[in-house]
Amino acid sequence: MEMAIHEEDIVIVGAGLSDSLRITGLALTLWSNAWRALDAVGIGDILRQKSVQIHGFKFANQEDSTPPTSGSDVNFDKLEVRCVRRKELLETLERELPQGTIRYSSKVDSIDESGNSKLIHLADGSVIRTKVLIGCDGINSTVARWLGLQSPVSSGRSAIRGFVDYPDGHGFEPKFHTYFGGGLRYGFIPCDDRSVYWFCTFKRSVLKCKPSSTFLCILLCKNDILHSDALHPMPPDIGQGGCSALEDGVILARCLAEALLADTNRKDDEYVKMEKGLEKYSRERRWRSFSLVCTAYVVGLIQESDGKVMRFLRKKFLSRFTVGAVVKMAEFDCGKLVSS
């Protein structure tokens, strides 16, 4: 008996393998650009109540006895930076969705063309027909492979992350605490008064990206598009992975909504309107994505290189330069969900 085809206008392919919301994981540093996106979808204030505002940087070079210094040239009064537990972010986002929006325990086996639609074949034998297919399934994206994107490559750096609870309070200043030396960069950032997120980045990475691959990342092909890590995989050096994914979501939703609600002289069918919305999204995100990946690559290279010349330059002024580059990426404003 032939399996019935389930019809949808838009399908977003994510990880999709767990049987419920996957709330394991640690924390995310959310910069000003992420908070603008969260405010756009109406959950910014909910998450602010569960985190502390970060007020600056503290640097230390472990190769000499220089005491930690503060990044006093960065004005944090104009920034909003907080570290939020991944569990809190995902659960808050899920509560805002209508019941049944997320389909769990689903693995994509294959994708086929069907006229202007796509047929998504799942491992359980079911089939979904959709007008728009959005790939949010990470670095090893099934949608990216189907679109013909090149395989990701190694950035040369890895990251280890952890989370510590202090029942009696940790007593750390609400700042980025960062240490360099020996090709390593490690540090921590408080999430609230009783929890701390820590990290260590180093060479020999299994993380996969390089700037040259990013030109191909935003590929629009018959109403298929990539989003988040599937769109702009980057090394973990500027804390923008989750932030840029939130930007993507707001801008994509706005572009599609504006296209579908547009009052045109001729009656475009829904497929053509969606195509126009995705083309606009692609134009808006192409250079933003490229700048994010390039900045992450360069910042990581500066911070973790171990040569004598780079150590000298980093100690004298490049640490300040990298902070400025990170802050610059956080100034982006994704705008509102609906244009005024």
The domain segmentation of the chain, as residue ranges, is 5-330
The span from the CA of 252 to the CA of 163, in Å, is 32
Contacts of 256 (CB under 8 A, 6+ apart): 10, 132, 274, 277, 278, 281
Q: Do 320 and 21 contact (CB within 8 A), yes or no?
A: no
Residue 15 CA neighbour count, 13 Å, CB half: 10
The span from the CA of 189 to the CA of 195, in Å, is 9
Tokens of 148: 């013909």
Point out which residues pair with 203 in neighbouring strands: 157
Q: Do 319 and 69 contact (CB within 8 A), yes or no?
A: no
Q: Which CATH number fits domain 5-330: 2.30.30.30, 1.10.1760.20, 3.30.1960.10, 3.50.50.60?
A: 3.50.50.60
Average pLDDT of the residues in 204-231: 46
Per-residue pLDDT at 44 = 96
40 pLDDT higher than 60: yes
210 pLDDT higher than 80: no
256 pLDDT higher than 80: yes
Q: Do 130 and 143 contact (CB within 8 A), yes or no?
A: no
Nearest CA to 209 among 290, 277, 116, 107?
A: 290
184 pLDDT higher than 60: yes
Mean pLDDT of the chain: 78
Per-residue pLDDT at 310 = 67
What number of other Cβ atoms are within 10 A of residue 318's Cβ? 17
Please tell me which of 141-145, 222-226, 249-253, 296-300 the model is most confident about, judged by mean pLDDT.
249-253
